[in-house]
Amino acid sequence: MLLTNLQNIAKAQKEIDKLEAEEAAEDAANGSTDAARKPAQKNQAVNGDASAEAGLNQEKDAAADAADDLKKATIEDKETAADA
């Protein structure tokens, strides 16, 4: 009886290992699934190395672009009003 239980446990563990390997292969083929306990940490290699400074620079660039677009739109509105 004990031997049968040990054999069943070994078979179950082998099946678990097989299923986990299949899941890992599927995740690798399909990209990240964020199933880890800390997905951001798990995916850091996928997403690249992000820094706060880079994020701040990106936000500053976006603000500058928005200000430039607003300035151009204001000039276009003035030109349209003058033509009318």
Higher pLDDT, 15 or 55: 15
2 shares a domain with 41: yes
Per residue in 20-40, pLDDT (tens digit) is 888 888 777 666 555 555 555
43 shares a domain with 20: yes
**DSSP string of 11-64, one letter each residue:** HHHHHHHHHHHHHHHHHHHH-----SSSHHHHTHHHH----HHHHHHHHHHHHH
Q: Percentage of the chain with pLDDT > 70?
A: 73
Q: What distance in Å separates the CA atoms of residue 20 and residue 12, rounded to the nearest whole number?
A: 12
For residue 78, the model assigns a pLDDT of 78
67 shares a domain with 32: no
Q: Which domain holds residue 71?
A: 51-84
58 shares a domain with 29: no
